[in-house]
Amino acid sequence: EIVYGTIRWKEKLRYCLNLFLSHEIKNKKVELILLIGIYQILHLNSIPDYAAINETVELASIKFDKKIKNLVNALLRQISRNKENLDFPDQKTDTSRFMSVNYSYPKWLIDKWIDSYGTKVTKNMCISLNEHSRATIRVNQNLIERDKMLELISSDCKPEKTKYSNVGIHIDNQYKIINSNLYKDGYFSIQDESSQIVSLILDPKAGQTVLDACGAPGTKTNHIAELMKNKGTIICCDINNKRLRLVNNDTKRLGSTIVQTINADAKDLTFNYKIKFDKILVDAPCSGLGTIKKNPDLKWNKNMDDINNLSSIQIGILNNVSRLVKTGGIVVYSVCTLMKEENEQVCEEFLNTNKNFNIDNNLPMKYEKINRLLDRNGYFSSLKYLDHMDGFFIARFRKI
């Protein structure tokens, strides 16, 4: 909790620390110790300030001399005394700086999000991505119904049906359930609700031929196999052979019998024989910023160069594999990120260069709730709605 919290709130903690300093602390280890203390003072109500301060001063004294120990002690006491009256940037006149500090995100990212989605959506995304993430499981419907599974999960885990996926259950404690025989015997997988929605939007049918172009470690491949009732063929391709080997572990556990793996670069994937796919999923490599809730370090580690590089890989993969779909077939593009460059812009570029594809929103009636989340361009973007999911962007194209 303290490690994740300190990483998550780093920008805000640093800002608060600097309010009480005349010059920056050069030693990064001393700064980190201070941030750990400030996190507990500002965000952990379960620990009284005096205990957080004592523990942090103790921590400082293990590595540093008395001078540093006294500095840590004095600064944390000052922050604790003044914590209700900290002087934040003005929300009206300096909105993006305020949001960057108050919600703790790099300012470049806040500026980008405001530019792409507006202030209100950006605020929602910031709040949602700072929440503690609940684990979600995907029930293997070939083995058990969701309602039956709900009965088998201990009430300590507070199981609760997901709102949009018809096979998901939120739980409080994934570690308890992951050690159970239910997991070993393939009754469920761990998968966020928004990630489950990807394969639901692909809507594969029993007997079809499906390509999962960036498929390792196989979470969605296996969901697709479950939806196809293990009838038909799925080719799971990935450039990373080590990750690809993980696919086989899960197909065995879940009893998916229709999956073949191939190690290839989807940017130049071709098939010698004249195979055409009914459905293709491009769950592309991306900056992952929609999973900040689970991986708060991502917000400090990514930059626009990464995003632009990924964007050209994504368009390269989409352009190439879309050639392999049948006329009338479906290509779904998905990424767990919230950057226009990796989301809407990739789709626009794809549609501009591939005039034989349209956006397709004809999901079956059973997915009516998902349909309601599509925006006016027909794109699905989970985080704009504060639904406690990871941030996923999904587009469904049909070859005409």
**Enclosing H/E stretch for 28:** helix 28-43
Asked if 240 is part of the footprint of ligand SAM (rule: CB under 6 A), the reply reads: yes
218 binds ligand SAM (CB under 6 A): yes
Q: Is 265 a residue that touches ligand SAM (CB under 6 A)? A: yes
Sign, Cα dihedral of 196, 202, 203, 208: negative
Q: Cβ(395)–Cβ(333) under 8 Å?
A: yes
CB of residue 32 to ligand SAM, shortest distance in Å = 31
Residue 335, SS3 per DSSP:
strand
Which are the catalytic amino acids? Answer: 336
- DSSP, collapsed to helix, strand or coil, labels residue 180 as coil
- Judge residue 394's burial from the number of C-beta atoms within 10 Å of its C-beta, 0-12 exposed, 13-18 middle, 19 or more buried: buried
Closest residue by beta carbon to ligand SAM: 214
Distance separating alpha carbons of residues 197 and 374, to the nearest angstrom: 12
Nearer to ligand SAM, 215 or 296 (CB): 215
- Coil, helix or strand for 145? coil
Count the neighbouring beta carbons within 10 Å of the beta carbon of residue 14.
17
389's CB contacts (< 8 A; 6+ apart) are 192, 193, 194, 382, 383
Exactly one of 217, 290, 329, 391 binds ligand SAM (CB under 6 A); that residue is 217
Pick the closer one to ligand SAM by CB: 112 or 220. 220
Write the burial class of residue 383 (CB in 10 Å: 0-12 exposed, 13-18 middle, 19+ buried).
buried
Report, in Å, the least distance between residue 391 CB and ligand SAM.
13
The single residue among 14, 77, 253, 267 that binds ligand SAM, judged by CB under 6 A, is 267
Contact between 216 and ligand SAM (CB under 6 A)? yes
Q: Tell me which residues in 298-337 interact with ligand SAM (CB under 6 A).
A: 313, 317
Instruction: Rank residues 96 and 291 by Cβ distance to ligand SAM and give the closer one.
Output: 291
| Residue whose CB is less far from ligand SAM, 14 or 245 | 245
Residues 6+ apart with CB under 8 A from 124: 383, 384, 385, 386
Q: Does 43 bind ligand SAM (CB under 6 A)?
A: no
Segment near ligand SAM (CB under 6 A); pick from 119-127, 165-173, 213-221, 360-368: 213-221
Interface residue with ligand SAM, options 89, 106, 255, 285 (CB under 6 A) = 285
Query: Considering beta carbons, is residue 199 or 208 the nearer one to ligand SAM?
Result: 199
Instruction: Give how far Cα 9 sits from Cα of 40, 211, 392, Å.
Output: 11, 40, 23
Residues 6+ positions from 370 with CB-CB distance below 8 Å: 164, 197, 200, 201, 363, 380
**Min dist. Cβ of residue 321 to ligand SAM (A):** 9
In angstroms, give the least distance from the CB of 281 to ligand SAM: 7
Kindly state whether residue 338 participates in binding ligand SAM, applying the rule CB under 6 A: no
> How many of the chain's residues bind ligand SAM (CB under 6 A)?
19
Shorter beta-carbon distance to ligand SAM: residue 122 or 251: 251
**Contact pattern for ligand SAM over residues 124 through 153, marking x by CB under 6 A:** ------------------------------
Task: Choose the binding region for ligand SAM from 73-81, 202-210, 233-241, 338-346 (rule: CB under 6 A).
Answer: 233-241
| Vertex 289: Cα angle to 370 and 120 (nearest 5) | 65
Binding-site member from 192, 226, 283, 390 for ligand SAM (CB under 6 A) = 283
Contact 384, 352 (CB under 8 A): no
Of positions 8, 138, 170, 220, contacts ligand SAM by CB under 6 A: 220
Of the candidate spans 31-39, 173-181, 262-270, 322-330, the one that interacts with ligand SAM by CB under 6 A turns out to be 262-270
| Smaller CB separation from ligand SAM, 47 or 262 | 262
Phi, psi of 152 (to 5 degrees): -85, -15
Phi and psi (nearest 5°) for 385?
-110, 5
Report how far residue 211's alpha carbon sits from residue 227's, in angstroms, rounded to the nearest whole number.
14
* 194 lies in the binding site for ligand SAM (CB under 6 A): no
List the one residue from 159, 168, 186, 215 that touches ligand SAM (CB under 6 A): 215
Q: Which residues sit at the interface with ligand SAM, rule CB under 6 A?
A: 214-220, 237-240, 243, 265-267, 283, 285, 313, 317
